[in-house]
Amino acid sequence: MQRRVFLKSGALALVTMGLSPTFLRRMVYAQGMPTPQKGKVLICLFQRGAADALNIVVPHGDASYYALRPSIAIARPGSADGAIDLDGFFGLHPAMAPLKPLWDRGLVAPVHAVGSPSSTRSHFDAQDYMESGTPDVKGTPDGWLNRFLATKGTCAECAVPASPFRAVAFAQQTPRIMEGPAPTIAMSSLDDFTIRATGSDVQRLEALYRTGSADLIHGAGAETFDAVKMLKAANPQRYAVEHEAQYPKSPFGQSLRQIAQLVKAEVGLEIAFADVGGWDTHVNQGGATGQLANRLGDFAQSIAALVTDLGDRMDDVVIMTMSEFGRMAKQNGNGGTDHGHAGALFVIGGHVRGHQVHGRWPGLAPEQLNEGRDLALTTDFRTVFSEVVRRHLGMARTDALFPGFTSVATAGVM
Amino acid sequence: MRLISRPLATALALAATAVACSAAHSGPARVAAEQGAREQTADEQVKQALNRLAFGARPGDVERVRAMGVDKWIALQLSPQKIDDRPTEQFVSRFPTLAMSPAKLLEDYPQPQQQLRDSVKLKEARRLSQQLLTEMQTAKVARAVMSDRQLEEVMVDFWENHFTVFAGKGPERYYLSQYERESIRPHALGKFRDLLGAVAKSPAMLYYLDNWESTVEADRPALVTRANRGAGNARRRFTMARAAAARDTTKKPRTRGLNENYGRELLELHTLGVDGGYSQADVLSAARAFTGWTVEKPRENGTFVFRPALHDAGEKIFLGHTLAANRGIEDGEQVLDIVATQPATARFIASKLVRRFVSDSVPPALVDRVAATFTRTDGDIRACLRTIFTSPEFFSRAAYKAKVKSPYELVVSALRAVGAHPDSTPRTAQMIAKLGEPLYGHLAPNGYPERGDAWINTGAILARINFGLLVATGRVPGASLAEWTDGHELASLSRDAQVDGVIKAILGGEASPDTRRVLESGINPMAGDSTANATKHGGLETIVGLALGAPEFQRR
């Protein structure tokens, strides 16, 4: 917080002197940083509540899978309501069908048995670790996406000031993953991002926050007014959905629709974030249909619509999903699954190594399970995250993003 | 207006008793020593108390608390039963569902999923089921706005957030009014163990954290009951237990087995805290201890019941204590006894209370003292609060205006500042939801954040400013500047006097010179228009809207 306040107050002092805060930001952030590539966007989607990876990317070729899940397993491909085969061993949950055409085009790179090395089964700790980027280290003050924003710096070659829309979360509150010194924006929708007052009163409200005070509230307020002006000028809402993409009416679908509008409006978006809950399926999660299937339908349709809508722009976009951990390999007594360990994620984009399921499969036989109950971990989530940041966002070194982590392996997703 | 700006005659009379009690406790010398250590001025202490023990000041509150004396007012707030709150009870009595049992609600307010075949009935059922939730939300806001038992409302909110449940899960909303009425409110200032026990047996928590469905594992012995004692093998017991479990629900029989959800959150979020020194084995033991703690017919009756046939009768080791085999409900009770008296629990609860009432940067020495009070008094919440409210830290410079208001606190404090009537419509609760804090709508069991930085971001500032404008322009039911006593008096005065009045009434008399300048003249320092816009922006409405949207009003 200290650093955030310092930067904000410094920037604000310059603002009141009539200077652009960009100057300061560039000075603080850009020293010794590689030249950023223009126009690359990373969209992070968090499945909060620990999504059941084994029923999402289904290991239908592993016989143990069916023994562990007598009533909730997804049937083998070819049978009614069976998995959608990907490579003869893995298949997608049938509700994930909207992603299959993208898989066929080579845009989808799932990673299995991936996650956090922490053994915690607490949602809150595990989300915290995945968002701070520091498993088993509590109290890391900032999120790893914010550390990316802070260390990568702003576009040194650009004449325009740093965009307040560099990092946007469609959420009521700034997510942990984006907390930190670099400015970010959280909003519930584009339409709500305006001051509902007449022009002169808007100016006076702005003046209340432009006093040079250095605290959190003044700082966030000053950023607010910058952002409102810029969004009004860019007017992303004028961009219609393209290529007949069909976004679900769900909050998640609508968030992704608006992320696409921000991409199209070229407001300087580099990082977008949205989250979606409902994955904590302890009870009656269902199989090919039911609770989890409904969540997955919304999830897959929303992502497929985003990819369709963005069309060729996907060359510069990567979508990365994540969830704090997987669920127990064995179903529980309530037709659901309790908290487990490793999970699965998707990296989707124009330049990913698609059409293959990444990550070493540890197997589901009793002796292969983590603590005798969960899918074992073979890929650290930081291996994938850092690879995406290096290859897609063009950052040479990611040490600062994931302190204490040296990836010996590569995930090979990009 | 009469309801909320009425004189506190009764309360004042009762206060005399409270004062006598508190003086007997502490003694004049100790009071003097504590006051000597207070960094805040007398005036600031009054506002600190109103901003922390209450949801901000209503018109006249500062004068009333000053006249009574801040310590006497605090003592009175710590004994809410001595405060006459009949007007609030009268107001919320318009919401019939608040006093009803889950069984009655389940009968009178049919659940939508039971009406799927008839679209007309389904629509009506959806409306009624929504009404359950909106009445709870509306009553919660109304109580916070108008009740004179302010500290009790603050603590009800605190514990509802600590022991959070999510209204959107299954029949949860049918249990909510009972949860607040019987589990939370009676113990909000009482003994922690009583509160913990009431929550553990509440259908609301049993359902939310899935314990109602948690049963002995098939390969473990269930507690032998009279019905099946000596009746044969484990297979037979299994079948009977399964049948009992099946009767619990109107849906198809569920498979049985252990569910760890409540066992884990009890330790992580309700008592010890995540670093409280427990292991996965302790979580399992806790979950096993609570098997059989379930809900009788969740969608028809909804009352707590202990079912021996579902209880894991094996021996359990929990935090080093052995829970002997073949016991019943005592297992869970003993787990609650153990966790309620752990030093980690005392520290966890103490630090949450200190963060709520003092500062996001929790003073460690104060947490030590509050935890010591917790342990010494057997978890007496009132005593813990007294330790906080008499501490130098509470009245320190650093703690003054140190807290950022949550959306709920922001909305309630704004309505109190302008002397609003409580809103009897769902509108105000909807505004709070839009600001990011839907009441009874936090999905995860960790509750809403207590730290200010979690609430403040670019989008949030925007929503807060827009909310202030809605209040000022009369678009929040119950809030009308024309009916606001101060507003009425200010309307005919000069602009300078209006600004003074608004700063006093809404910002507690404390506005930065910059803020005052903007309110007075409409000068926009950014545009450098030192005179152009001056005096052009008339109207009390504008001044109030600016004040409610100002940075100063976001803090308490």
The pLDDT of residue B225 = 55
Rounded-to-integer distance, Cα A377 and Cα A385, Å: 15
Per DSSP, helices labelled H in A30-176 are 63-68, 100-104, 123-132, 144-152
B335-348: average pLDDT: 98
Which range marks the domain in which residue B540 is found? 407-554
Per the CB < 8 A criterion, the answer to whether A155 and A36 are in contact is yes
Tens digit of pLDDT at every position of chain A (414 positions): 333 333 433 333 333 333 333 433 333 333 333 333 358 999 999 999 999 999 999 999 999 999 999 999 999 999 999 999 999 999 999 999 999 999 999 999 999 999 999 998 888 789 989 999 999 887 788 999 999 998 886 455 444 456 889 999 998 778 899 988 888 888 889 988 999 888 888 989 999 998 878 788 998 898 889 889 889 899 999 999 999 999 999 999 999 999 999 999 999 999 999 999 989 998 899 999 999 999 999 999 999 999 999 999 999 999 999 999 999 999 998 899 999 999 999 999 999 999 999 999 999 999 999 999 999 999 999 999 999 999 999 998 889 999 999 877 889 999
Tokens of B417: 């500042």
The distance of B252 to chain A (nearest Cα, Å) reads 11
Phi, then psi, of A276 in degrees rounded to 5:
-145, 130
**CA torsion angle for B234, B235, B239, B242 (degrees, to 10)?**
60
Q: How many residues does chain A have?
A: 414
Specify the DSSP element, H or E, that contains A162: none
Res. B116 pLDDT band, cuts 50 70 90? low
Displacement of CA B536 from its chain's centroid (Å): 43
Q: Which residues does chain A have within 8 Å of residue B274's beta carbon, measured at their own beta carbons?
A: 122, 124-125
The shortest CB-CB distance from B255 to any of A183, A228, A334 is to A334
The predicted structure's pLDDT at residue A385 = 97
pLDDT for the residue A201: 86
Tell me whether residue B95 is in a domain.
no
Residues B240-266: what's their mean pLDDT? 61
Q: Report how many Cβ contacts below 8 Å link chain A to chain B.
A: 178
Residue with tokens 């008793």: B17
Which residues in B lie closer than 8 A to residue A282 (C-beta atoms)? Answer: 210, 259, 261
Pairing assessment for the beta strands B293-296 and A57-58 based on DSSP bridges: unpaired
Q: Does ipTM top 0.90? A: no
**B398 SS3 class:** coil
- List residues bridging with B380 in a β-sheet: B191
Q: Give the DSSP H or E segment for B87.
A: helix B86-92
pLDDT > 80? residue B6: no
**Distances B210 to A138, B262, B293, B295, B471 between C-alpha atoms, Å:** 28, 7, 10, 10, 41
Side chain identity, residue B61: D
Q: Percent of chain B scored above 90 by pLDDT?
A: 68
What tokens does A185 get? 């924006």
CA distances to A68, A177, A392, B330 from A325, in Å: 18, 16, 24, 34
In 3D, which of A153, A177, A109 has the Cα closest to residue A395?
Answer: A153
Asked if A283 and B259 come within 8 Å (Cβ–Cβ), the reply is: yes
Listed in sequence order, the residues at least 6 apart from B389 whose beta carbon sits closer than 8 Å to its beta carbon are: B49, B53, B74, B78, B357
Cα three-residue angle B156-B510-B476, rounded to 5 degrees: 55
Assess whether B417 and B494 both reside in one domain: yes
**Interface probe with A: pick from B457, B515, B544, B553, most Cβ of A within 10 Å:** B457
pLDDT tens, residue by residue, B509-550: 999 898 998 888 654 444 444 444 333 334 888 899 999 999
Averaged pLDDT, B123-138: 91
Nearest-angstrom CA–CA distance, B25 and B386: 11
Instruction: Tell me the three state secondary structure of residue A167.
Output: strand
Count of structural domains, chain B: 2
Same domain, residue pair B285 and B413: no
The predicted pLDDT at position B256 comes to 67
Nearest in space to B200 (alpha carbons), one of B329, B299, B77, B355:
B329
B441 contacts chain A (CB < 8 A) = no
Per-residue pLDDT, B224:
64
pLDDT at site A153: 60
Radius of gyration (Cα) for chain B, nearest Å? 26
Residue A113 near residue A358 (C-beta atoms within 8 A): no
Mutate to test the interface with A, among B219, B242, B406, B458 (most CBs of A within 10 A): B458
Residue B475's alpha-carbon distances to A91, B69, B469, B541, in angstroms, are 54, 36, 9, 12
- As a whole number of angstroms, the distance between CA A75 and CA B444 comes to 31
Chain B residues touching residue A207 (CB < 8 angstroms)? 514, 518, 523-526
Residue B470, SS3? helix
Question: Which is more confident, A95 or B37?
Answer: A95
Which of A91, A110, A126 has the alpha carbon at shortest distance from A374?
A126
Determine the residue of chain B that is closest to A222 in CA distance.
B458
Residues in a beta bridge with A275: A46
Query: Do the Cβ atoms of A209 and B461 come within 8 Å?
Result: yes
CB distance B282 to A123 below 8 Å: no
Query: In this predicted structure, what is the pLDDT of residue A38?
Result: 54
Angle at A341 between CA A336 and CA A345, to 5 degrees: 90
**What are φ and ψ of residue A349, in 5° steps?**
175, 175
Q: Regarding beta strands A41-47 and A271-276, do their DSSP bridges make them parallel or antiparallel, or are they unpaired?
A: parallel
Which residues make Cβ contacts (< 8 Å) with residue A63, sequence separation at least 6? Answer: none
Instruction: Please give the span between the terminal C-alpha atoms of chain B, in angstroms, as a whole number.
Output: 24
> Both B415 and B319 in a single domain?
no
Residues whose CB falls within 8 Å of the CB of residue B352, separated by 6 or more in sequence, listed in order: B158, B162, B450
* B336 and B411, same domain (yes or no): no
Which DSSP string do the residues of A229-283 spell out, in sequence order? HHHHHH-GGGPPP-TT----SSHHHHHHHHHHHHHHHTS---EEEEEE------S
Contacts of A48 in chain B (CB under 8 A): 444
Pairing of strands A91-92, A57-58: antiparallel
Mean pLDDT of B96-114: 90
Structural domain spans, chain A: 39-193+247-393
pLDDT of residue A137: 83
Longest dimension (CA), chain B: 94
pLDDT at B23: 42
* Closest residue in chain A to residue B541, using alpha carbons only: A201
Q: Does residue B356 lie in a domain region?
A: no
Q: Give pLDDT, residue B189.
A: 98
Name the 3-class secondary structure at B243. Answer: helix
CA B340 to the chain's CA centroid = 20
Which option is the CATH number for A39-193+247-393: 1.20.1440, 2.40.128, 1.10.3470, 3.40.720? 3.40.720
How crowded is residue A198: how many other Cβ atoms within 10 Å of its Cβ? Answer: 11
Give the lowest-confidence range in A10-24, A97-111, B317-331, B479-493.
A10-24
Residue type, A167: A
Cβ contact B227:B240 at 8 Å? yes
Helix (H, G, I), strand (E, B) or coil at A347: strand
Average pLDDT over every residue of B195-220: 94
Looking at the complex, does the CB of residue B546 fall below 8 Å from at least one CB of chain A? yes
Give the residues across from B316 on adjacent strands.
B323
pLDDT score, position B95: 96
User: Tokens at residue B172, please?
Assistant: 């949860």
Cα–Cα distances in Å, from B425 out to A85, A234, B130? 53, 38, 13
B51-72 average pLDDT score: 97
What part of A 332-371 touches B (C-beta under 8 Å)? 332-335, 338-339
Q: Any idea which of A205-219, A334-348, B1-15, B378-392 has the lowest mean pLDDT?
A: B1-15
What is the mean pLDDT of the segment spanning B428-437?
92
Identify the bridge partners of residue A186 per DSSP, sorted by sequence position.
Answer: A169
- Chain A: closest CA distance from residue B462 (Å): 6
Share of chain B above pLDDT 70, in %: 84
The pLDDT assigned to B265 comes to 93
Short-list A157, A206, A161, CA closest to A20: A161
d(CA B407, CA B137): 14
Domain end, chosen from B324, B340, B356, is at: B340
Summarised one tens digit per residue, pLDDT across range A381-392 is 999 999 999 999
The helix or strand, by DSSP H or E, that contains position B88, with its residue range, turns out to be helix B86-92
User: Could you tell me if B228 and B319 lie in one domain?
Assistant: yes
Task: Tell me what pLDDT residue B218 has.
Answer: 85
User: Using CB atoms and an 8 Å cut-off, which of residues 376-405 of chain B contact chain A?
Assistant: 404
In this prediction the pTM is 0.78
Q: Which of residues 497-536 of B touch A (CB under 8 A)?
A: 512, 514-515, 518, 522-527, 533, 536
Q: Are residues B411 and B550 in the same domain?
A: yes
For strands A41-47 and A84-85, give the pairing: unpaired
B152-174 average pLDDT score: 94
Nearest to B16 by CA among B91, B76, B66: B76
The sign of the torsion formed by the CA atoms of A356, A360, A365, A371 equals: negative
> Among A128, A217, A232, A280, which would you mutate to test the B interface (most chain B Cβ atoms within 10 Å of its Cβ)?
A217
- Of B297, B299, B304, B211, which is closest to residue B258 (Cα–Cα)? B211
pLDDT tens by residue, B69-90 = 999 999 999 999 999 999 999 9
Quickly count: other Cβ atoms within 10 Å of residue B542's Cβ. 22
Within-domain flag for B223? yes
Higher pLDDT, A185 or B117: A185
Which residues does residue A41 pair with via DSSP β-bridges, in sequence order? Answer: A317
Q: For residue A85, give the H/E element and its range.
A: strand A84-85
pLDDT at B278 over 70: yes
